[in-house]
Amino acid sequence: MAAKRPNVLLFTTDQQRGDHLSISGHPIVETPNADAFVGRGAYFPNAYTEIPSTTGARRCMLAGQGSYTCGLVGYSGAEWHERTTVAQVLAENGYHCINVGWRNLHPTRKLYGFHTVIPHDLREGVDDYKEWLRREVGPHAAEYGHGVDPNGWTARPWHLDERFHPTVWTTDVTLEQLRKRDPTRPFFVWCSHLRPHSPYDPPQVFWDMYVNRDLPEIPVGDWAAKHDVPNPGLAITEWHGRLTPEQNQRMRAAYMGSCTHLDYELGRLMRGMQEMSLLNDTLIIFVSDHGDMMGDHHLHRKTYAYEGSARIVFLVRYPEGFSLPSGTFDHVVALQDVMPTILDAAGVEVPDSVTGKSVFAAIRGEPWREFLHGEHSPCYCLEEAMHYVTDAKEKYIYFPSSGRELFFDLVKDRKELHDLSKDPSRAERVALWRRRLIEVLSRRGDGFADGKKLLIRTDWWSPVVGE
């Protein structure tokens, strides 16, 4: 480890799939700045979100806690009362803590341990980006002036100059805050980007990179026929349905362009830090909060246990002087591991409330978790609410409203094309994973398992624990 306490930059994206990095093996997407972390840090290809939607995922990340423990099991605008967030703990230990960009924490202006919060949060009166855009462009300027829905599958290039894009603004403001930081203290900066979450609207140059490319075939599993609802006729915010080839091409190309745009902004941020003589002394963690189905299995948006929704980006770049191996590490890591990793690097004691582990322990070869549990309460419909457990080699999914199960061999079938839950040759493996989920849920006592079996719940249960 480094001799002095490092600065920390937490760089996050919203709804970026774990396979949309070139280092992940994606045949089209280019992310050269993120890819380079592996030469001076760690890449975790088997990273998952405990709650595959924004608010719960960010609670896991900022409190170092798994689902349920963080107080959510799905999506909600409830106020959070966690006292030991990573920012609060670091602030109490001498760090200057700054948050810029997309939060989706409630209330929007609540500090949650940060000294400074400059949000892009989509609400009148609490969105500093929106106010800036109107000052710079005019009183009628709007982020969604291009007509693309912030939760839809439509896509087009950004309608204003590139410098007005919220991805650019988030980087600009982060660099400004770094210049204005307290120079006598180490900093913790959370630079939080809304994209590649819809609207799928990259600047023209990034749209052009992909819109005319031959894109990979969209995977559709042998279990996914019920999601095959034809278009035209679909709402643009529909969570399932089969788009036309042209609609899929635009949606996916724009999403890929947004991922590359974010990578360029990461590079610009790092160059700015280098000019301020900060880069070599800064630990950088790049994670996304969840993925985006992008039409896989005729599904859209998030909240699912499938790889497109639950697998996330997780990269670490070491500061100068860190004595740890670099490379790719196959351990199953999650958002709850972000906070203990940061505190480990800072030499700060990890609070008892934390359930995650420092990924440095995995890198050092210390014992690691056997598997990860994730879940999501009802959101788009009751039937898709789920629990899942995985070790990145196999995945078991349980749907409490019906008792339906899915089981995938991720080693042979990472695209989850073949459900093996009824395959007699996999019966023992399915039973093993079912028992593991029963053990996890029985400890909670919230009606999903009774210690012997998984239970069916036909109520629309709350995303807020205890309600």
pLDDT digit string, tens, across residues 172-187? 999 999 999 999 999 9
pLDDT score for 2: 53
State mean pLDDT over 400-411: 98
pLDDT score for 125: 86
Q: Above 70 in pLDDT, residue 1?
A: no
CA distance 182 to 118: 17
Residue 232 CB neighbour total at 10 angstroms:
7
Under 8 Å between Cβ of 325 and 348: no
Length of the chain: 467
Q: Above 70 in pLDDT, residue 464?
A: yes
pLDDT score for 129: 98
pLDDT score for 59: 98
Mutual angle of helices 245-275 and 166-179, in 10-degree steps: 10
- pLDDT tens readout for residues 242-283: 999 999 999 999 999 999 999 999 999 999 999 999 999 999
pLDDT score for 124: 82
State mean pLDDT over 27-52: 98
State mean pLDDT over 367-393: 98
Confidence of residue 353 (pLDDT cuts 50, 70, 90): very high
Q: Please, what is the average pLDDT of the chain?
A: 97
Half-sphere exposure of 69 (CA within 13 A, CB side): 20
pLDDT score for 3: 58
Under 8 Å between Cβ of 80 and 105: yes
pLDDT score for 139: 96
Sole residue written with tokens 């409203």: 401
CA distance 206 to 258: 7
Nearest Cα residue to 423 out of 401, 394, 383, 402: 394
Half-sphere exposure of 392 (CA within 13 A, CB side): 17
- pLDDT tens readout for residues 142-172: 999 999 999 999 999 999 999 999 999 999 9
Starting at the earlier edge strand, list the strands of the sheet with 187-196: 116-119, 96-101, 187-196, 7-14, 282-288, 314-317, 41-43, 327-328
pLDDT score for 110: 96
Phi–psi pair at 408, nearest 5 degrees: -125, 140
Under 8 Å between Cβ of 170 and 192: yes
Confidence of residue 122 (pLDDT cuts 50, 70, 90): confident
Confidence of residue 94 (pLDDT cuts 50, 70, 90): very high
Domains and CATH numbers, the chain: 7-370 (3.40.720.10), 374-442 (3.30.1120.10)
pLDDT score for 457: 97
Task: Extract the tokens encoding 382.
Answer: 């009751």
